[in-house]
């Protein structure tokens, strides 16, 4: 009965966890040999036969037949009279094999085997999960929300393995309930307290990249390459794509007819605004495309400092900067250049507008220079921006920004 229980435990585990036969046989043999060493001091003359398919095993001990009274070590030798009680065909000097029953080891030894086997199998399970998901880093997986906590979600895959989606890796507008199906990318796999911890992400650029691969066959087939992705999850993303076939329009292929392909991606990302642009080795053209939808008049590039000064019509400045400075921030990350936008002076110096430097008698010049560096080089450009946007983009104290706004407003009043 103990034998049966031991094998049933193993069989159940194998069925549920799908561990390969070779590895499991190795674990079983290791456990049994450890037991034999404790019981007999050696496992050298023992053969262990494991039949995983039948859920059974046998242990055979090989000993040399010696004359009566000459047995020096019963582990390796057996007397001729004892052998002939079992089979009278043996002679002195031959090798005799007899089966060792598990019950012979006693209940305590069998319990120890079971505990050892359970420990080994759990360790094998952990290693299997770690190895499996380590190979899946960067791949999208689908799971079921099992538990919701304040800082993370517990997700189960189709095999019942536990995965973690931290709050920091969720799109801000994500909302899930227990039982919901969820898609995310495997971000990393860590070992904590000797257990694998699989971390998922929905904010990673890789998640967006894999969604494009699923929706756009040309990307999956390698006809279109994603050169770079930058995103602020749930808000906006910029994707630079390139085609190796002149007959394929990479942007059109990614967007699809009437936005059919990109629509599913946008929906998955909670209406994240996605700009798909053509990659170019022409830096000026690439920066111009990165600042889309704004239209640029001219660009000055400082390659040594990795900076670009962009001149635009007044009405295009807000488009280039974007809500909360998001558009220009993502364009800078996409191109690798720090981008500063300026209003085109010739277009901007309208009768009812004032150059911001005209306020240098009331506002310190270093403060005005900071405003100019974010494209606010005229009085109206400052007043057209929100207070929150100015505080965020200038990184100045709130009192300083409020004072600048007050002074400029008083001029127009």
Radius of gyration (Cα) for the chain, nearest Å? 36
Could you tell me the CATH number of the domain that includes residue 171? Answer: 2.40.50.140
Question: What is the reported pLDDT for 409?
Answer: 84
Last residue of a domain, one of 181, 203, 225: 203
pLDDT at residue 397 tops 50: yes
Give the chain's domain count. Answer: 2
Per residue in 267-283, pLDDT tens? Answer: 999 999 999 999 999 99
81 within domain boundaries: yes
373 within domain boundaries: no
Nearest by Cα to 375 from 292, 333, 313, 331 = 313
Q: pTM of whole model > 0.95?
A: no
Last residue of a domain, one of 132, 167, 184: 132
Range of the domain at 187: 145-203
pLDDT at residue 9 tops 60: no
Confidence of residue 171 (pLDDT cuts 50, 70, 90): very high
> Is residue 74 located within the same domain as residue 120?
yes
77 within domain boundaries: yes
pLDDT at residue 26 tops 60: yes
> Is residue 125 located within the same domain as residue 16?
yes
> Is residue 112 located within the same domain as residue 40?
yes
43 within domain boundaries: yes
Question: Parallel, antiparallel, or unpaired: how do β-strands 224-232 and 195-201 relate?
Answer: unpaired
CA–centroid distance for 100 within its chain: 50
Q: Is 347 exposed, middle or buried (0-12, 13-18, 19+ CB in 10 A)?
A: middle
Of all helices (H) and strands (E), which one includes residue 370?
helix 365-373
> Is residue 91 located within the same domain as residue 113?
yes
Last residue of a domain, one of 106, 132, 158: 132
Question: What is the reported pLDDT for 349?
Answer: 45
């Amino acid at each position: 009965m103990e034998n049966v229980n031991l094998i049933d435990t193993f069989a159940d585990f194998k069925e549920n966890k799908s561990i390969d036969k070779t590895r499991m046989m190795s674990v079983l043999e290791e456990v049994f040999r450890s037991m034999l060493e404790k019981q007999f001091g050696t496992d050298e003359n023992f053969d262990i036969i494991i039949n995983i398919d039948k859920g059974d095993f046998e242990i055979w001990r090989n000993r040399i037949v010696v004359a009566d009274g000459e047995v020096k070590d019963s582990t390796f030798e057996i007397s001729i009279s004892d052998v002939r009680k079992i089979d009278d065909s043996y002679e002195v000097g031959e090798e005799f094999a007899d089966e060792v029953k598990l019950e012979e080891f006693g209940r305590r030894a069998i319990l120890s085997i079971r505990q050892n086997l359970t420990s080994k199998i759990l360790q094998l399970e952990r290693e299997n999960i770690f190895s499996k998901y380590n190979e899946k880093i960067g791949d999208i997986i689908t799971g079921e929300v099992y538990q919701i906590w304040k800082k993370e979600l517990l997700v189960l895959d189709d095999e019942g393995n536990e995965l973690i989606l931290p709050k920091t890796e969720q799109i801000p507008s994500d909302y899930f309930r227990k039982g919901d199906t969820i898609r995310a990318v495997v971000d990393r796999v860590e070992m904590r307290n000797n257990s694998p911890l699989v971390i998922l992400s929905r904010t990673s650029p890789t998640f967006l990249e894999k969604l494009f691969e699923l929706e756009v066959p040309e990307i999956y087939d390698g006809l279109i390459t994603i050169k770079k992705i930058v995103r602020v999850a749930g808000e906006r993303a910029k994707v630079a794509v390139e085609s190796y076939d002149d007959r394929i329009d990479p942007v059109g292929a990614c967007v699809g007819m009437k936005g059919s392909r990109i629509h599913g991606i946008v929906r998955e990302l909670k209406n994240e605004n996605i700009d798909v642009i053509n990659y170019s080795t022409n830096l000026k053209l690439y920066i111009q495309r990165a600042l889309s939808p704004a239209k640029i008049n001219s660009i000055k590039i400082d390659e040594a400092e990795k900076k670009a000064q962009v001149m635009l019509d007044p009405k295009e400045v807000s488009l280039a900067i974007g809500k909360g400075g998001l558009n220009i921030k993502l364009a800078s990350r996409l191109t690798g250049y720090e981008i500063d936008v300026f209003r085109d002076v010739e277009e901007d110096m309208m009768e009812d507008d004032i150059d911001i430097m005209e306020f240098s008698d009331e506002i310190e010049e270093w403060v005005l220079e900071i405003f100019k560096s974010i494209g606010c080089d005229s009085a109206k450009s400052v007043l057209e921006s929100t207070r929150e946007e100015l505080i965020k983009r200038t990184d100045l104290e709130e009192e300083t920004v409020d004072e600048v706004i007050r002074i400029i407003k008083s001029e127009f009043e």
